[in-house]
């Protein structure tokens, strides 16, 4: 049934408020090709078009709004966008005025950006984390990551749907589902998981609803939805970007990051988010002479995926990289999974209590215990798809014990860094690691929750280590996207972007979503 809109902080007359239902949608196809031409353009193409007056920022915004109306609530009903920003049109008009006056703020000026709905913006849009408890949680200020993009002229188009509470409420959660936004759908194959928790950001960028989006990650929440939706996602070095104004899970791992269709656009976003590092300017340097480890031990046995990995190796060799394969490797983190989960639960309890204490709106609960009680009282909506056992386990942990917690975090980081990623790099005299970004997305399962194949790649090691992790599209298998991961040590964000860019230049354009209702399995050879 349709959800009621949040009570606005300010009047929204004439604004488009997107209200998404939980009911299963009807299917549809790509709207007018004339809108798709601009919808899939990258940042450089759009800036060139602005300069040549082929399209204005205001006209682009109107084009994307029309596209969102056609794909988000109608047709394939992606439910990727939770709400549009009623102030976006004025921001786009201001960008056009700056350009006419020769006062552009930079390469992001006029480009629309969608923001995950656990990141605060000062627009008349609440930050809900997908929960009805925060339907009127209006922030007075932008989160620093949003402020950095806005300072360069980016237009905040709206908020994206997400896995409720960033996939940290239940062990049986359904990625991409929230009680506020409904179920995000993967635009490539509509019955496949969009992964999470940055589900809406990944699906929206893939479907041409915006060229740029912000996601967040604690452990896989940028990389997984980027990979399964066939786009670029960067989890930066932990601590490079501020996490203020973001609904927390664990301060020791949380970060925001760009989700885009090209590596160049991810670099442009990073130039704004972490000024002074010239990420975009470094891309042409390439990776000639760079030694790269192929983590075959983390690639599984699917011959279709292994064939794509072999093609990626060939492209990197063409770019001048030296490639070495590692077929066997003991991963010490596997024995510490319970300890990692304990860290997340303890930090979540502390962090969410602090966040709720300052949250705005009518929800008067100020602790995780209050939130658990709210969900129980609103069970028909909040607990409609799955329970809240992670919430309950986090509350049961009690107050964080500083010495014990610090020792646990240190053990995990040593296993992820010295025991895994650093060990691979040092043993092979290498600077980069590549691996599949994850398995092929399974169908959405509203009965059993997320049921994934055996995991591929080294995403958890990068998340726990706090090291940069980039995923770049590597084509599709039976219509389902596959991504390639680039990993390096702390502070090497520019290196992973350069490597991803080098591969992207040889791969050619990634496939556009076809909005297949289900995977068109041919059982033939890899595409």
pLDDT per residue as tens digits for the range 49-101: 999 999 999 999 999 999 999 999 999 999 999 999 999 999 999 999 999 99
Residue 141 has a CB neighbour count (10 Å cut-off) of 12
> In this structure, what token pair is assigned to residue 102?
């020769």
- Mean pLDDT across the stretch 211-230? 98
pLDDT, mean over the chain: 92
Given 248, 263, 283, the domain boundary residue is 283
Residue 108 has a CB neighbour count (10 Å cut-off) of 27
What is the DSSP code (8-state) at residue 419? Answer: I
31 occurs within a structural domain: no
Residue 249 maps to which CATH number? 3.90.1300.10
Given 218, 250, 283, the domain boundary residue is 283
**205 and 340 both lie in a single domain:** no
Total tally of structural domains belonging to the chain: 2
**79 and 169 both lie in a single domain:** yes
**54 and 195 both lie in a single domain:** yes
Task: Tell me what pLDDT residue 274 has.
Answer: 98
470, containing H or E segment? strand 469-477
96 occurs within a structural domain: yes
**85 and 162 both lie in a single domain:** yes
Q: Has residue 399 got a pLDDT over 50?
A: yes
Q: Which residues of 287-325 are buried (b: 16+ CB within 10 A; e: fewer)?
A: beebebbbbbbbbbebeebeebbebbbebbeebebbbee
Task: Tell me what pLDDT residue 364 has.
Answer: 83
Give me the catalytic one of 56, 95, 104, 116: 116
**51 and 154 both lie in a single domain:** yes
Listed in sequence order, the residues at least 6 apart from 196 whose beta carbon sits closer than 8 Å to its beta carbon are 162, 163, 166, 167, 173, 175, 176, 184, 221, 224, 225
Assign 62 to helix, strand or coil: helix
120 occurs within a structural domain: yes
**269 and 344 both lie in a single domain:** no
The partner residues of 183 in beta bridges, in order of sequence, read 177
**349 and 234 both lie in a single domain:** no
CA distance 40 to 311: 25
233 occurs within a structural domain: yes
Q: Has residue 128 got a pLDDT over 80?
A: yes
Task: Tell me what pLDDT residue 289 has.
Answer: 98
Active site residue 235: no
CA distance 189 to 149: 31
Give me the catalytic one of 56, 193, 197, 437: 197
**83 and 221 both lie in a single domain:** yes
Cα maximum dimension of the chain: 62
411 occurs within a structural domain: no
**273 and 341 both lie in a single domain:** no
**114 and 52 both lie in a single domain:** yes
**93 and 239 both lie in a single domain:** yes
Active site residue 170: no
Q: Has residue 7 got a pLDDT over 50?
A: no
Task: Tell me what pLDDT residue 222 has.
Answer: 98
CA distance 118 to 160: 9
Q: What are phi and psi of 474, to 5 degrees?
A: -125, 30
- State the sign of the Cα–Cα–Cα–Cα dihedral 490, 494, 500, 502: negative
Q: Has residue 352 got a pLDDT over 50?
A: yes
Given 266, 283, 300, the domain boundary residue is 283
519 occurs within a structural domain: no
- β 322-326/469-477 pair status: unpaired
**233 and 356 both lie in a single domain:** no
386 occurs within a structural domain: yes
Give me the catalytic one of 56, 163, 170, 221: 221
Active site residue 197: yes
314 occurs within a structural domain: no
Range of the domain at 374: 336-404
The pTM score is 0.94
Chain centroid offset of residue 191 CA? 19
Task: Tell me what pLDDT residue 103 has.
Answer: 98
């Amino acid at each position: 049934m349709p959800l009621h809109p949040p009570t606005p902080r300010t009047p929204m007359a004439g604004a488009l408020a997107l209200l998404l239902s939980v009911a299963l949608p009807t299917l549809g196809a790509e709207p007018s090709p004339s809108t798709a031409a601009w919808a899939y353009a990258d940042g450089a193409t759009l800036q060139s078009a602005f300069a040549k007056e082929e399209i204005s920022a205001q006209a682009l915004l109107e084009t994307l709004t029309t596209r969102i109306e056609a794909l988000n609530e109608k047709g394939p009903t992606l439910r990727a966008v939770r709400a549009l920003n009623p102030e976006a049109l004025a921001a786009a008009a201001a960008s056009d005025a700056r350009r006419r006056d020769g006062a552009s703020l930079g390469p992001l000026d006029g480009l629309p950006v969608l923001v995950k709905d656990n990141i605060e913006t000062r627009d008349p849009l609440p930050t809900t984390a997908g929960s009805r408890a925060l339907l009127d949680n209006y922030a007075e200020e932008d989160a620093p990551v949003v402020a950095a993009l806005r300072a360069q002229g980016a237009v905040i188009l709206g908020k994206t749907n997400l896995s409720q509470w960033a996939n940290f409420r239940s062990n049986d959660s359904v990625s991409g589902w929230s009680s506020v936004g409904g179920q995000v759908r993967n635009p490539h194959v509509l019955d496949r998981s969009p992964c999470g928790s940055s589900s809406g950001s990944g699906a929206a960028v893939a479907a041409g609803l915006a060229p740029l989006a912000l996601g967040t990650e604690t452990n896989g929440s940028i990389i997984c939805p980027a990979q399964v939706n066939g786009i670029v996602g960067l989890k930066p070095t932990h601590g490079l970007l501020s996490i203020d104004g973001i609904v927390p899970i664990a301060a020791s791992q949380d970060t925001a990051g760009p989700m885009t269709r090209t590596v160049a656009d991810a670099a442009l976003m990073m130039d704004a988010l972490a000024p002074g590092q010239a990420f975009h300017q470094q891309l042409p340097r390439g990776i000639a002479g760079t030694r790269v480890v192929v983590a075959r031990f983390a690639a599984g046995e699917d011959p279709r995926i292994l064939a794509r990995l072999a093609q990626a190796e060939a492209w990197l060799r063409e770019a001048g990289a030296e490639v070495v394969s590692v077929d066997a490797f003991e991963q010490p983190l596997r024995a510490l999974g319970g300890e990692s989960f304990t860290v997340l639960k303890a930090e979540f309890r502390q962090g969410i209590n602090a966040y709720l204490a300052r949250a705005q709106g009518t929800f008067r609960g100020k602790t995780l215990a209050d939130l658990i009680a709210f969900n129980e009282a609103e069970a028909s909506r909040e607990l409609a798809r799955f329970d809240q056992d992670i919430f309950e386990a986090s509350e049961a942990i009690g107050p964080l014990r500083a010495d014990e917690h610090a020792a646990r975090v240190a053990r995990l980081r040593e296993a992820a860094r010295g025991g895994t990623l650093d060990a691979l790099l040092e043993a092979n005299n290498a600077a980069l690691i590549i691996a599949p970004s994850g398995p092929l997305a399974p169908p959405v399962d509203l009965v059993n929750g997320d049921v994934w194949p055996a995991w591929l790649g080294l995403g958890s090691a990068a998340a726990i280590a706090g090291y940069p992790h980039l995923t770049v599209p590597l084509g599709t298998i039976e219509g389902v996207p596959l991504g390639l991961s680039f990993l390096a040590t702390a502070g090497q964000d520019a290196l992973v972007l350069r490597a991803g860019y080098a591969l992207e230049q040889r791969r050619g354009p990634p496939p556009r979503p076809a909005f297949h209702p289900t995977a068109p399995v041919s059982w033939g050879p890899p595409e």
